[in-house]
Structure 1
Amino acid sequence: MERCVRVAILGAESSGKSTLAAALAERHGTVWVPEYLREFVETQGRVPVAADQYGIARMQLERENAAAAQAQQFLFCDTTPLMTAVYSRHYFHGVDAPLAALADDYHYGLTLVTAPDSPWVADGLQRESEAVRQLIYRYLLDELDARGIVYHVLRDSLEARLEQAAPLLQQALAAAPAISLN
């Protein structure tokens, strides 16, 4: 019997989610799931529209589920459908029913939120501004609070965030149910 914790890493644009996910995966000898939205923007050459949101969130989950087979104790997920729903509310003034259903199926053993306390960096098509970053961060915290999802905000440098995450990860692992590998 083994334990594996799915860790949601959420945050606004340019807040260090991908950097943190990769560093945590390396530190713990496991895998992480990159944000599919980045790939979507690169391959499509455009930002998503409202009709793309469900497909983006679904692909994120599919990749997460596929990566779970290689995970060792932790699976670090650089965003979740909940984050897609937060952005949909901001940019498209709502969330369609299929995306809402994906966001409602929140199945993570630990939720880490990256504070927007590093310099904002433009990143091609998918990052808007420091003002939007702060607004999305506030929307995210409000959404997590409204859903009663316990979360932990990680601040400062990458090293500080790794140190802040360490005891949270160990607590989540100790509380995780054992799973059979048969």
Structure 2
Amino acid sequence: MPDGGAWVVALVGAESTGKTTLAAELAEALPALWSAHAGPAERARWPRPQAARVGEYLREFCDLHQRTPTRDEQQAIAREQSRRIAAACRQHPVVVADTTALLTAVYSEQVFGDTSLHVDALAMHRCQVHLTLLTGLDLPWQADGLQRDGPQVREPVDHKLRRALLGDGQSFSVVSGSGGARLEAALAICGPALRRHLDRTPPTVERPRWRHLCGRCGDPACEQLTLRLARDS
């Protein structure tokens, strides 16, 4: 768990699952939530708090070079994503990351069969991020630039993300719903997590470390089962 003063929420998920839209909406909504629960010291340090939104560096890379990165370029992209998150943490009380080095590592595995980035990416994710939101697959796939590989990669990438986070013992919450419902679901998860960060209350036996996976029942398989049933009906 990170020890820095800024509170970082990271959005990870397969392509075309609304990460960028949700990140922008959270960056608008979270400063008010922060102000409502911040103590006098925090409010004195940040009298007019704003949230930083750290965009996906991969998109910038593809736009600049007009191509997707090679295997040898993946590590530099992951490190630049982490560097930008760290820089934002020094200037803002709330940081919304779209996305983190973990997604770069997962796509490197998906595209190149390369798992060499996972250890560092998971360590950096653990170091930087307080709350991880995994965007669900309930939105339709849409083409959007060079970095999109197609709807067929969404389930494999989603599976690899869950496996990586769960295997490393890192908590995440699945966000689903369309339009305003997706933002409401995300804010319902962010509220308790942000209050806990501002309270600085350590977890105890009576108050276990927060670990929420599915928005309804906490079962990581629940949301996937719901989607499969909807597709098969």
Moved more, 126-135 or 63-72: 63-72
**Structure 1: gaps spanning 5 or more residues:** none
Structure 1, residues 63-87: CA drift from partner, whole Å, max 9, x if none?
Answer: 1111113323x21100111111111
Give me the whole-angstrom Cα distance separating, in 2, the residues matched to 1:76 and 1:84: 17
1:65 aligns with 2:86: yes
Displacement over 6 Å in runs of 4+: none
> 1:13 matched to which residue of 2?
15
Change (3 A) 1:178 1:54: farther
Moved more, 87-96 or 111-120: 87-96
Equivalence map 1:13-92=2 (5 Å)? 13-29=15-31, 30-72=51-93, 74-92=94-112
Structure 1, residues 113-152: CA drift from partner, whole Å, max 9, x if none?
Answer: 1112111111221111111112211211122111111111
Structure 1, residues 21-77: CA drift from partner, whole Å, max 9, x if none?
Answer: 1110011241110000000000011101111111101111111111113323x2110
> 1:100 matched to which residue of 2?
119
Report the TM-score when normalising by structure 2: 0.70
Equivalence map 1:114-129=2 (5 Å)? 114-129=135-150
> 2:177 matched to which residue of 1?
156
Q: SS of 2:96's equivalent?
A: strand
For 2:111, the aligned partner's letter is Y
Structure 1, residues 93-117: CA drift from partner, whole Å, max 9, x if none?
Answer: 12336x6323323221101011121
Report the TM-score when normalising by structure 1: 0.88
Structure 1, residues 136-174: CA drift from partner, whole Å, max 9, x if none?
Answer: 112111221111111111001131122112232122122
1:139 aligns with 2:141: no
Relative contact order (C-alpha < 8 Å, sep 6+): which is higher?
1
> 2:197 matched to which residue of 1?
176
**Structure 2: gaps spanning 5 or more residues:** 32-50, 201-233
Give me the whole-angstrom Cα distance separating, in 2, the residues matched to 1:145 and 1:4: 24
Q: SS of 1:121's equivalent?
A: coil
For 1:11, the aligned partner's letter is G
How many residues align? The count is 176
1:113 aligns with 2:127: no
Give me the whole-angstrom Cα distance separating, in 1, the residues matched to 2:112 and 2:53: 29
Moved more, 158-167 or 19-28: 158-167
| 1:91 CA displacement | 1.0
Higher strand share: 1
| 1:178 CA displacement | 7.1
User: Is contact 2:177-2:185 (8 Å) kept?
Assistant: no
For 1:18, the aligned partner's letter is T
Change (3 A) 1:9 1:167: same
